[in-house]
């Protein structure tokens, strides 16, 4: 929030940048509440939260990636691959800790490779992560031998379905409303990475690198190291999202979460993260995540065919990017 009194042009625009997406989200929610049957109600809110948790978890680190002027497509296949790997290790060992650690280590390694190639070899992040995305998809099918792997480990299934608080329907055992562990993890990551971006030297350096990489380097910032860490953490978190998704579905399926990288990036761009780097704040990304989630949820409730949902999702991304471009031009003018 601005402390000084500095009236002038761009003030309204800046205020809109800060609160704009929250406003859009509020309008969207009001619209859906008024027109979509079944949108309001504990059951749907519960669903909505669970639905956005996967995209939300990965968006927290995608925010760093985009804010540093980079890009990561490989998360879209790391999510299923992390889930498959976790299920595979569970089937072999039945050890929850080993399975989770293995999946997370795999994700971190994949991210580390992305980061090394981008930072040290100076390869375009789009091409780099497009390549690793395909490789990881292949690995997911190899791990799973082309099928999905069922999860029978009780602790693992509990991980996804445990909830706090739980409200029961009056006079019965049925659940009225609950917040499950994946949702709590998502919220915790929102808070944690929001703090890292805003309050730590690492977060500030991330924005400086995205804003002007050469200036950041000449200011003595270890640009390569920051980038490598960002990609490695991104890989780790994407894999974590995959583990939680697998636990929720009860299977490690190499075919889940297809195209989720685009939903994640869309959510960030909707949240005002500039694709050219240097600008981003967690509160707006959260708004972006929920805008995407609410639109998808409403389309599901309205029984809109998934084919049309792709069109709508694409249109949202396109308009977010055009909006970003418009804002950039206004800014430089």
Partner 1 sequence: MANADGAPVPFLRFENVAKRYPGVAALRGVSFDVAEGSVHALIGENGAGKSTLLKILGGSQRPTSGCLRIGGLERDFRSTSEAIAAGVAVIQQELQLVPGMTVGENIYLGHLPVRRGVVDRRRLRELAAAQMRRLGEEIDPDTRLARLPIGQRQTVEIAKALSRGAKVVAFDEPTSSLSAREIDRLFAVIGELRRSGCAILYVSHRMEEIFRICDACTVLRDGGHVRTHSSLAGLSQNSFVRDMVGRSIDDVFGYAPRPLGPPALEVDGLSGPRLPSPVSLEVRQGEILGLFGLVGAGRTRLLKLLFGALRPSGGSIRIHGRPVAVREPIDAIRAGLVYCTEDRKREGIVPMLSVTENCNLTARRNNLRAFGVVNERWERSNVLGQIGALGIKTPSPEQLIRNLSGGTQQKVILARWLSEEVKVMLLDEPTRGIDIGAKSEIYSLIFRLAREGMALIVVSSDLPEVLGLADRVAVMREGRLSAVLDRADASPERVLAHALPLEKAVPA
Residues that bind partner 1 (CB under 8 A): 2-6, 10, 199-202, 204-205, 207-208, 211-212, 214-222, 274, 278-279, 331
Handedness of CA 224, 266, 56, 2 (dihedral sign): positive
- Which neighbouring-strand residues pair with 168? 175
Nearest distance from C-beta of residue 178 to partner 1, angstroms: 33
Exposed e or buried b for every residue in 245-264, given b needs 16+ CB within 10 A? Answer: bbbbbbbbbbebbeebbebb
Rounded to an integer, what distance in angstroms lies between the CA atom of residue 41 and that of residue 297?
Answer: 13
Half-sphere exposure of 307 (CA within 13 A, CB side): 0
31-38 LR contacts (CB < 8 Å, sep 24+): 32/294, 32/297, 32/298, 36/298, 36/301, 36/302, 37/301, 38/301
Question: Which is closer to partner 1, CB of 3 or CB of 37?
Answer: 3
Question: Which is closer to partner 1, CB of 10 or CB of 41?
Answer: 10
Exposed e or buried b for every residue in 115-154, given b needs 16+ CB within 10 A? Answer: bbbbbeeeeebeebbeebbeebbebbbebbeeebbebebe
Nearest distance from C-beta of residue 207 to partner 1, angstroms: 6
Rounded to an integer, what distance in angstroms lies between the CA atom of residue 68 and that of residue 206?
Answer: 5
Quick one: tokens of 75? Answer: 């998360």
The number of residues in the chain equals 333
Question: Which is closer to partner 1, CB of 177 or CB of 202?
Answer: 202
Question: Which is closer to partner 1, CB of 93 or CB of 276?
Answer: 276
Rounded to an integer, what distance in angstroms lies between the CA atom of residue 37 and that of residue 22?
Answer: 23
Question: Which is closer to partner 1, CB of 5 or CB of 34?
Answer: 5
Question: Which is closer to partner 1, CB of 78 or CB of 232?
Answer: 232
Question: Which is closer to partner 1, CB of 174 or CB of 220?
Answer: 220
Question: Which is closer to partner 1, CB of 92 or CB of 276?
Answer: 276
Nearest distance from C-beta of residue 310 to partner 1, angstroms: 33
Nearest distance from C-beta of residue 164 to partner 1, angstroms: 27
Nearest distance from C-beta of residue 95 to partner 1, angstroms: 31
Nearest distance from C-beta of residue 57 to partner 1, angstroms: 22
Nearest distance from C-beta of residue 17 to partner 1, angstroms: 11
Question: Which is closer to partner 1, CB of 133 or CB of 230?
Answer: 230
Nearest distance from C-beta of residue 9 to partner 1, angstroms: 9
Nearest distance from C-beta of residue 108 to partner 1, angstroms: 19
Peptide bond into 167 cis (omega under 30): no
**Cα pseudo-dihedral 243, 248, 250, 252, rounded to 10:** -30
- What are the φ and ψ backbone dihedral angles of 2, each rounded to 5 degrees? -75, 135
- Which neighbouring-strand residues pair with 163? 180
């Amino acid at each position: 929030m601005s402390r000084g009194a500095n009236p002038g042009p761009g003030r309204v625009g800046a205020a809109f940048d800060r609160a704009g997406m929250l406003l859009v989200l509020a309008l969207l929610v009001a619209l859906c509440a008024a027109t979509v049957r079944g949108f309001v109600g504990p059951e749907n809110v519960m669903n909505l939260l669970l639905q956005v948790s996967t995209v939300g978890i990965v968006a927290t680190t995608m925010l760093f990636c985009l804010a540093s002027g980079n890009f990561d497509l490989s998360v879209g296949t790391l999510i299923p691959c992390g889930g498959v790997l976790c299920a595979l290790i569970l089937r072999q060992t039945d050890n929850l800790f080993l399975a989770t650690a293995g999946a997370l280590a795999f994700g971190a390694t994949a991210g580390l490779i992305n980061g090394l190639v981008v930072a040290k070899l100076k390869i375009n992040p789009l091409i780099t992560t497009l390549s690793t995305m395909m490789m990881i998809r292949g690995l997911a099918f190899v791990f799973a031998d082309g099928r999905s792997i069922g999860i029978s480990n009780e602790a693992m299934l509990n991980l996804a379905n445990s909830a706090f608080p739980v409200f029961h329907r009056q006079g019965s055992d049925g659940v009225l409303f609950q917040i499950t562990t994946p949702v709590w993890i998502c919220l915790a990551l929102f808070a944690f990475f929001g703090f890292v971006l805003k309050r730590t030297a690492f977060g500030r350096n991330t924005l400086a690198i995205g804003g002007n990489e050469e200036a950041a380097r000449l200011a003595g910032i270890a640009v390569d190291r920051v980038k490598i860490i960002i990609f490695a953490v991104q890989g780790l978190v994407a894999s974590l999202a995959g583990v939680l998704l697998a636990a929720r579905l009860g299977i490690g399926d190499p075919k889940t979460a297809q195209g989720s990288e685009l939903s994640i990036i869309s959510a960030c761009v909707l949240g005002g993260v500039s694709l050219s780097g240097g600008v981003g704040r967690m509160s707006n990304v959260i708004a972006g995540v929920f805008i995407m989630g609410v639109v998808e949820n409403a389309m599901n409730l309205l029984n809109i065919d998934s084919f049309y949902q792709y069109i709508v999702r694409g249109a949202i991304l396109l308009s977010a990017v055009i909006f970003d471009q418009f804002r950039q031009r206004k800014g430089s003018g």
